[in-house]
Structure 1
Amino acid sequence: MKIDKIINNNIVSAIEADGKEVVIMGRGLGFGMKPGKEIPEGKIEKVFRLDSQNSTDKFKELLANLPLEHIQASTEIINYAKSVLNRRLNQSIYITLTDHINFAIERFKEKMMFTNPLLNEIKTFYKEEYLIGEYAVALIERRIGITLPVDEAGFIALHIVNAEYNTAMRDTIDITTLIQNVVKIVKEYFSMDLDETSLNYQRFVTHLRFLAQRIIGGEMLNSDNPEFNQLISQMYPEEYACSLKLKDYIQVTYHHDVTEEETAYLAVHIKRIRM
């Protein structure tokens, strides 16, 4: 590949055979080089292929003034996340997480750190992503010599969640808060603690996550099985009554009509976690 633009001493861009622009990282890759020159294969550390030209332009603008070590750390964290989760992450993660990590490191140097009010919920609802956040904090300490607080593991986990489910950070926070409040209502309704390590609890949280995504996105599950809904209300009257309470909460708080089918599914999951 030949250089199209030099972004800084470590970052250049090139045009591939299909006409798409890629961003290429490598220590000293752009030093003393000019557009049109062949890129030395041995110096290429990473080729970034983003989903759109707009994302590519934003990424180039972001990388122009960032230390190479911060970019490398972010890239290594994203690669680790992909391998652990074994699923595709939205390419915007290269922009959002790299920017966040750089900002977190700069804030640390200025002794200006933020607490994470959702840290406990993130640990509970997004276990895999939080462990990736812990890995990221440890990697940053090894690579850059900065010991970020545990709150940052939670923030990084939310960025991973965003990329998994293709949501904006504000929506992810809203989804997490909704799950938190629904779980609290169930606990209070039955005056019981829930085993957060159980498989049924994890299934419940996963169901709530997708329900919350539909609510935040204004989508609705079609209700076309009245026999099922009636059966669940008869089999699990207490759990169904609790799910009606959740339905009212969601209606009042989020102005979203929970269908009878969604209400019945909630009752089934509540029954499981009560077992």
Structure 2
Amino acid sequence: MKIKKVLNNNAALASDENGNEIIYTGCGICFQKRPGDELEENKIEKTFVMEKANEQFLKLVSEMPYEEIQVADEIIKYASENLGKRLCNNIYITLTDHLGFAIERSKSGTFLKNKLLWEIKNYYKVEYNLGCHALEIIKDKLGVELPEDEAGFFALHIVNAELDGNIHHTMEAPEIIDDIISIVKYTYKIDLDEDSFSYERFITHLKYFLQRAERNAYYEPQDPGIFEIIMERFPEAYNCATRIKSYMESKYPEKLTDEEMLYLTVHIARITDRD
């Protein structure tokens, strides 16, 4: 395959037979190479395939130290393997960019305070643990020690890639989840068992619930008979879900459907079951 553009000694832009632009990286892959030269396939360590190469990612690859690109890739790969799912390609831009700035700030002793750290630790426990592991990889491979706040930031990038969402909405989500949990606690005047399986399932449901809210794509109503049964079976949980509905409709333009109310009611009934 022929080089279309030399990004630096360790990265090249080329095209496949379908016209897709591909970024190839590898230590010294472009050393003394020019556009039109053949790539040595045995030097290729990573490929990034896109229908059209993203200019921001091209800029990152061409300007960031190769070791940092490798570390970002290792963090993403580890997160994907542990979550058991393929993450949205955009994480290669967002997380890599964040890593570069975090390392740059650390050199001047400047660190960002993560105001959502408590919420992230409590509502995105798996992703937070992946963020902590990211800090270990960075320390081991780059010799840079970043504070716990950065584990929270990396966790948000992972959450965003899981949901294929907008990072700004993803950063708002922990606060919204916290508000919803507060509504449940206030309605029932109880503390919730945060170690229970039902609580964990509810938090997972809320993550995707907020993704649907962001996209104006709530579940469509299915069987109204089932919704009526749930309302009668769990009146207190339905009352709580109604409060959440009012709160959500103050945040998002789309009205909650009966199907969304059904799921909220069932989850609330589960996490507040005193028996």
- Taking the aligned partners of 2:138 and 2:88, their CA distance within structure 1 comes to 22
When the two chains are superposed, the root-mean-square deviation of aligned CA atoms in Å is 1.6
97-106 or 257-266, larger mean C-alpha shift: 257-266
- Taking the aligned partners of 1:45 and 1:24, their CA distance within structure 2 comes to 7
Q: Indicate if the aligned counterparts of 1:70 and 1:102 stay in contact, CA closer than 8 A.
A: yes
Q: TM-score, structure 1 length as denominator?
A: 0.93
Q: Which amino acid aligns with 1:20?
A: N
- Taking the aligned partners of 1:80 and 1:251, their CA distance within structure 2 comes to 37
- Taking the aligned partners of 2:181 and 2:101, their CA distance within structure 1 comes to 33
| SS state at 2:5 partner | strand
Residue in structure 2 matched with residue 173 of structure 1 by the alignment: 171
Give the 3 Å change call, closer, same or farther, for CA 76–224 of structure 1 in structure 2: closer
Give the 3 Å change call, closer, same or farther, for CA 263–44 of structure 1 in structure 2: same
Residue in structure 1 matched with residue 93 of structure 2 by the alignment: 95
- Taking the aligned partners of 1:208 and 1:94, their CA distance within structure 2 comes to 25
Superposed displacement of residue 126, structure 1: 1.9
Residue in structure 2 matched with residue 53 of structure 1 by the alignment: 52
Task: Please list every run of 5 or more consecutive structure 1 residues that lacks an aligned counterpart in the other structure.
Answer: none
Task: Please list every run of 5 or more consecutive structure 2 residues that lacks an aligned counterpart in the other structure.
Answer: none
- Taking the aligned partners of 1:142 and 1:274, their CA distance within structure 2 comes to 43
Map 1:65-214 → 2, pairs under 5 A: 65-214=63-212
Q: Deviations over 1:56-93 (max 9, x none)?
A: x3321221111111101001111111211121211111
Quote the sequence identity (%): 42
Give the 3 Å change call, closer, same or farther, for CA 5–253 of structure 1 in structure 2: closer
Q: Which amino acid aligns with 1:48?
A: F
Q: Indicate if the aligned counterparts of 1:6 and 1:30 stay in contact, CA closer than 8 A.
A: yes
Q: TM-score, structure 2 length as denominator?
A: 0.93
172-181 or 72-81, larger mean C-alpha shift: 172-181
Which aligned runs of 4 or more in structure 1 are off by greater than 4 angstroms?
none
- Taking the aligned partners of 2:220 and 2:272, their CA distance within structure 1 comes to 27
- Aligned pair count reads 273
